[in-house]
Structure 1
Amino acid sequence: MSLTGTRTPLGEAVAVCRDALGEVAERQPGFLTMPEREALLTGLVALEAQVVELRMRVLAGSADIADAHGARDVAGWVALRTGADPGRLRAESKVATSIDESWPRVGVAMARGALSLEQARVITTGLDALPARIDDEARTRAEVHLVGLGTGEREDAPEGGYGPRHLRMLAERVLDVVAPEIAEEEDAKRLAALEAAAHAKTSLRMRPMGEGLTRITALVPDPIAARLATYLDAFTSPRQHHAGAGGNPDAERLPQHRARGLAFGALLEHLDPAKLPVHGGDATTVIVTIDHDQLTHHLGTAGLLDPGHDNGGELRISADHARRLACTAKILPAVLGGKSEVLDLGRARRLFTAAQRTALGLRDKTCRAEGCTIPARWCEAHHLDPWSKGGRTDLADGLLLCNFHHHREHDPASTTTRLANGDRRYHRRT
């Protein structure tokens, strides 16, 4: 059924608007004067708000359409019939429900084109978060206050009203206006709940993309993001460049996202490993491997120990990069001989030393149990021949095992088979 055939006031209004817009579809606004285009742009924003408000109102009252067509909800049915985004329509329905049930003045302002959908969403979200203990009068004053700020009808609002970003901050502090006696206490509760929710959603993912790049995707609480931005911007400051503080001298000519990306590397290079937590039983250390000949002749490549990397736990880097890291990042260089033997990481003692553990990590990369991928930094050094039975604490007599497999190694109920490549295979005794 077409809209033009729908003889209701709402249907007629939509049909008239569509017909009128269809008549000017070929008109080019570039020929209008500047005042005419200014009026047209502001009028279009108001018209959009009115159309969205009407759509929201119809969505909120059309659950029977979904039932009749076996759709999940009316938003899904509309999306199927029109190609619209169902997620966007469902988000509109949520705002519509809030307006219909609690905040009619927001809907009235949208219906006359004075509030956009984004403004309405921010306002209703803030109003829905009001504590249950405030009375209806205070709720009404809060709604009137925020609507006035959004439409620009209050004297303390700018012409045209505040945008969604400023409205969000004002909505968070609306209790200061309508219930100042409880505002501080409620704000503390709100912030505590917000921080707990942010903590629960915090994540950081690293995925190698190839071509020498890794994508880092992080979701962190706002205070952490603010600290990181402050630290990174310190490396992009032109004053720091001239002071030789390790920043990128071209950063001021780069887009901010690129300058901060380069600054992130500079930040890591300036971390002091001595102040980092103990990791894998030893002080946290970044290890770079490089062949002795390449070290002395300034040629070739090196390896950065990275147990999470696909290439057997070692990421290839240029020798020049390795030398620079050795100067700036306080890393531990592991110099290798002709057969990749570790030359300078220490001698054997009664117990495996930190240097020997590092050498074992360079050699083994992961737990040496068959198929185990636990990285070396989380493993324990194991004597192949026990010290008590004459075994020696040297690299040839040691290997790395994770905690789980180290227990299997000493479990009398398990048998151990040494594979051709030196890995260990465990079986439960029968």
Structure 2
Amino acid sequence: MSLDSAVPLPERPGAPEGDVRGPVEPGRGPVALQELETLVAVVDEMPALIHQLGDAQVESLTQVLLRLHGRSAQVAAVVTADAVDRGTVASSIAANTTQWVCRHAEASGVPIEPVEAKTIAVVAEACRERKNAVIAAAVARGSCTVSTARAALINADKVAPVIPTADRGEVLAWFLQLDPALGARGVQALTRKILATYATEALSAQDAKLEHVETLTWGKTATGMTRLVAELAPANAAILKAAITAGSAPRPATADTADTGGSGPTGSHNEHGTGEAGEPRGKGTSTSTSTSTSETVRDDRTPGKRRADALMELIAAGAKVAAGEVAPVGSAATILLTMELSALTDGLGGATTPGGDVLDAGAARRAACDADLIPAVLGGPSQPMDVGRRERLVTKGLRAAVVIRDGGCTFPGCDRPPGFCEVHHVRPWWAGGETSLTNSAILCCRHHQEVHRHGFMAHVRPDGVTWDLTPGRMPGHAHAAA
């Protein structure tokens, strides 16, 4: 999901009418509380009953539990705010609202993380103030998570001085109208985007201070491992994440199996290519008429292990260059930045990475000196990026354009970043589809396979991709499946 889909800033929604907390009066409240206590007992019983459920029921159970998880935190914030107003918190033995939440969590038998208790308490305290009525209403009706609410409250104080013509309620409304999938990260990114646009010097100065206090430490864990802890400024963090992500995608190996029983993997991990049908080249193809086949063996490394391996590869390569064993080749890194030309030439505004990181213009200029920047023209027709049917495989420039537009896997509900994705021909190349921006969509390996397996089609718009999950819509799908 790309942050750019949330900009320009949305219209301010209508202000909530009246206080979100109604007056205390007898009614359904006690009955609802008793029903909730019964529900908790049922939830505690569920782990022993899961084996009695079918696949569809397990999915329904998961949805119900996740709804309860998120909604409970929202309602807890509303209840805590009410407890503060009543004086319940002040009359307790808790030192503050956060401790009051923690004590009740411990009493429930399911303690929560201190940071979660702090978030509930902060949001509850803020919702009591009339200036935060927009947030209070969103939390009460369940349209905003407590984490997003806390991020919006914090960042509103940063944005308000920059845009004097917008009141606090309007700024909070901007944050709440972001795609919920972006969460607190989206709020932080939009804040940096606003600062980069309206307070470039302030953002640059802020990031310069962060660069001066960057740290990298390490220490031994109880298991004998060494834990690295780094705190990096946005620009340096973007470079590191881009480099590690590029090298941490799964790398299936090739294993040769013979008719006599086969042998183990014979090759090292290599990134596999894909054809227009999204199937790995070499998978299931015969290497001999009757004696052996070549099959793809999945990469069983965990995501954390793949990132660690990618970091070590970068360090090893850099160490060889520093020792003079090999000559440096190419640029320091390949960074994909979306920005206006004026931001680069005049230093006004900022740049956005596919992962949503917002860099100030100064950081983008520094990257232009040492990194391999991929230029892209945005906002116009896609023809300049098209290569028609002269090319079957996606060019570097075209992939950059698709990544800028899509931001990651476009399949509904997927959050895989561009480094783990492939460019998919919406209308297959072999069925007459062009290798062009308007016929391309980013998909992770898993969903690329699912799209071809089920024959899903998509509608490509200038600002994104919408999928039709009706099986068999892809041209020639029946032939491809056969």
Instruction: Using structure 2 for the length normalisation, give the TM-score.
Output: 0.41
Larger radius of gyration: 1
Q: Which has the higher contact order (CA 8 A, sep 6+)?
A: 2
Kindly indicate which of the two structures has a greater share of residues assigned to helix: 1
Q: TM-score, normalised by structure 1?
A: 0.45
